[in-house]
Amino acid sequence: MATNLDTLVTVFGGSGFLGRSVVRALCKRDYRVRVAVRRPELAGFLQPLGRVGQVHTVQANLRYPASVEAALRDSHVAINLVGILTESGGQTFDAVQAKGAETVAKAAAAAGAEMVHVSAIGADEESPSRYARAKAAGEKAVLAAVPSATIFRPSVLFGPEDQFTNRFAALGRLSPVLPLIGGDTKMQPAYVGDVATAIADAVDGKAKKGATYELGGPEVLTMREIIETILAITGRKRMLIPLSFGLARFQANFLQFAPGALKLTPDQVTLLERDNVVSDAAKAAGLTLEGLGIAPDSLEAIAPQYLWRFRAAGQFQRMIV
């Protein structure tokens, strides 16, 4: 009798924030997982997510088609999670999120593999954001090569190793005053574990082929509400100073070269000018987490489990209410 162990799933970008959750979800369902990354020697931490021999890492770079084709050899399903938040050298939005996605899709088609592609809410060919335009171009290229591909567009993701809630929690620990950019911009934060479950469901065949899903959490929150929630969880009282988009974009011209949590690019400011929520059309069509039978977890329910480390007294400090 056929089992999931007969199915080889190749995950591009499997060592990233979303990737490790996806690998874990696939391993729990007994799939064989091949993780294609640029630096396999740095992805050893993925091995304990499965049983002995279940997870195998290989070298692949989306800018080199031959390496992608080799990574997909004998694969039944290809999952593309590769994406970047900022550009650096040859790692541009177009190279990674548009041309890179096309490379994976063409290789998947040649290998006869099904495909799951992760994009982002806000992907739009007409967007003023280069990030959003590249995401839209990637979706178009994937569907052109693999019309049956399932596309997931998550809202901003949160979880233990994210670059979102941890970033603001770190800033709240460092400064008594926090700049607030796009305070009224609406977002629908999605828990990384829920999105990973949706991707694993697609591999199981539970998602509609050729469809585009929009994945958001149970709540629509403004940027101000999100930061206030993070500050309450970490027990920090901080003053929020609203910044206009114009001033924020001017500062980003310099902060794009800053390290760590201080980094801010002009394109990120542009993204903050638009709401990042699940559309009414996706809800009506059932192309959401709920449509897949997944009850999404809220920011307030999950974040305290890992943001406690930013509290002055650690996990023993009570939240501000």
**Given this model, what pLDDT does residue 314 score?**
74
Contact between residue 155 and residue 190 where contact means Cβ atoms under 8 Å apart: yes
**Given this model, what pLDDT does residue 233 score?**
95
Contact between residue 107 and residue 70 where contact means Cβ atoms under 8 Å apart: no
Average pLDDT of the residues in 192-216: 98
The chain-wide mean pLDDT, for the chain, equals 94
Q: Percent of the chain having pLDDT more than 70?
A: 98
**Given this model, what pLDDT does residue 321 score?**
56
pLDDT surpasses 50 at 230: yes
**Given this model, what pLDDT does residue 319 score?**
64
pLDDT surpasses 80 at 25: yes
Q: Which of 28-32, 181-185, 217-221, 256-260 has the lowest mean pLDDT?
A: 256-260
- Following DSSP, what letter does each residue of 273-311 receive, concatenated? TS-B---HHHHHHT-STGGGT--PPPHHHHTHHHHGGGS
**pLDDT digit string, tens, across residues 81-111:** 999 989 988 889 999 999 999 999 999 999 9
Average pLDDT of the residues in 150-157: 98
**pLDDT digit string, tens, across residues 262-321:** 789 999 999 999 999 999 999 999 999 999 999 999 999 999 999 999 998 877 676 665
Domains delineated in the chain = 4-148 (3.40.50.720)
At 2, the pLDDT band (50, 70, 90 cuts) reads low
CA distances from 177 to 232, 236, 238, 240 (A): 15, 11, 6, 6
Average pLDDT of the residues in 151-166: 96
**Given this model, what pLDDT does residue 89 score?**
85
Three-point CA angle 27, 81, 301, nearest 5°: 70
- pTM to 2 decimal places: 0.95
Token pair in block for residue 297: 């977890």
**Given this model, what pLDDT does residue 291 score?**
97
3-state secondary structure of 271: helix
**Given this model, what pLDDT does residue 174 score?**
87
Token pair in block for residue 246: 């114009």
